[in-house]
């Protein structure tokens, strides 16, 4: 099993656990608010943070699965050689975006919030830990884009590495 397949399984497992966690958190929020008449103070913030992680890690997972929306009409009408070049350019643009915005910008955000010692209100967590999903997901997308480029030039563009 390759390292990418191991990362794929770990990411899918983490997303499943996060989805179960948010479901249980919201169920507890409903029970504590409407049945016990004493709303739990942490459930709203916890569910919000889990949703952030699901959304951003889910973007990396969707990228790996080629599940993002795309406009392929122009690409599909090209010859195989031109299509390969166009798809490589798209992957390079994705890498540049992820390096600049998600990894660099996300790391700067994490460091700034840790330096300023920003703490979440209900859970008391350092916000830098919550925001760390940005550089993590950016690194995953970069790795997946590199795998996609390698697959394009090996000739198995639909095959996952």
pLDDT at position 160 is 41
Residue 11 resides in a domain: yes
Measured between alpha carbons, how far is 151 from 22 in angstroms, rounded to an integer?
Answer: 35
Residue 22 resides in a domain: yes
Domain residues for the domain of 67 are 3-154
Measured between alpha carbons, how far is 118 from 116 in angstroms, rounded to an integer?
Answer: 6
- In this predicted structure, the answer to whether residue 158 has a pLDDT above a threshold of 50 is no
Query: Which whole number is the average pLDDT over 58-86?
Result: 89
Measured between alpha carbons, how far is 19 from 16 in angstroms, rounded to an integer?
Answer: 5
Residue 9 resides in a domain: yes
Residue 160 resides in a domain: no
- CA dist 21 → 36, 50, 62, 125 (Å): 21, 8, 20, 17
Domain count, the chain: 1
pLDDT at position 156 is 61
Residue 93 resides in a domain: yes
Measured between alpha carbons, how far is 83 from 44 in angstroms, rounded to an integer?
Answer: 46
Residue 161 resides in a domain: no
Instruction: Say what percent of the chain tops pLDDT 90.
Output: 84
Query: Which whole number is the average pLDDT over 102-124?
Result: 97
pLDDT at position 70 is 77
Q: What is the DSSP string of 50-77?
A: HHHHHHHHHHHHHHHTT-S----HHHHT
Decide: helix, strand or coil at residue 159: coil
- In this predicted structure, the answer to whether residue 68 has a pLDDT above a threshold of 80 is yes
Give residue 159's pLDDT band: very low, low, confident or very high (50, 70, 90). Answer: very low
Residue 49 resides in a domain: yes
pLDDT tens digits along 18-50: 999 999 999 999 999 999 999 998 999 999 999
Residue 159 resides in a domain: no
Long-range contacts of residues 158-161, Cβ cutoff 8 Å, at least 24 apart: 160/4, 160/5, 160/8, 160/64, 161/2, 161/4, 161/5
Q: How many CB atoms lie within 10 A of CB 79?
A: 8
Query: Which whole number is the average pLDDT over 107-135?
Result: 97
- The structure's pTM equals 0.90
pLDDT at position 161 is 43
């Amino acid at each position: 099993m390759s390292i990418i397949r191991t990362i794929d399984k770990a990411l899918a497992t983490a997303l499943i656990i996060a989805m179960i966690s948010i479901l249980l958190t919201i169920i507890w929020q409903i029970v504590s608010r409407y049945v016990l008449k004493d709303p739990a103070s942490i459930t709203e913030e916890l569910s919000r943070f889990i949703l952030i992680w699901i959304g951003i890690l889910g973007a990396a997972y969707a990228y790996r699965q080629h599940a993002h929306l795309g406009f392929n009409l122009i690409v599909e009408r090209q010859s195989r050689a031109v299509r390969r070049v166009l798809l490589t350019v798209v992957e390079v643009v994705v890498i540049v975006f992820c390096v600049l915005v998600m990894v660099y910008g996300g790391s700067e955000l994490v460091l700034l919030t840790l330096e300023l010692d920003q703490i979440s209100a209900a859970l008391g967590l350092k916000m830098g830990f919550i925001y760390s999903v940005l550089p993590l997901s950016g690194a995953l997308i970069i790795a997946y884009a590199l795998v996609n480029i390698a697959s394009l030039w090996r000739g198995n563009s639909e095959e996952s590495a």
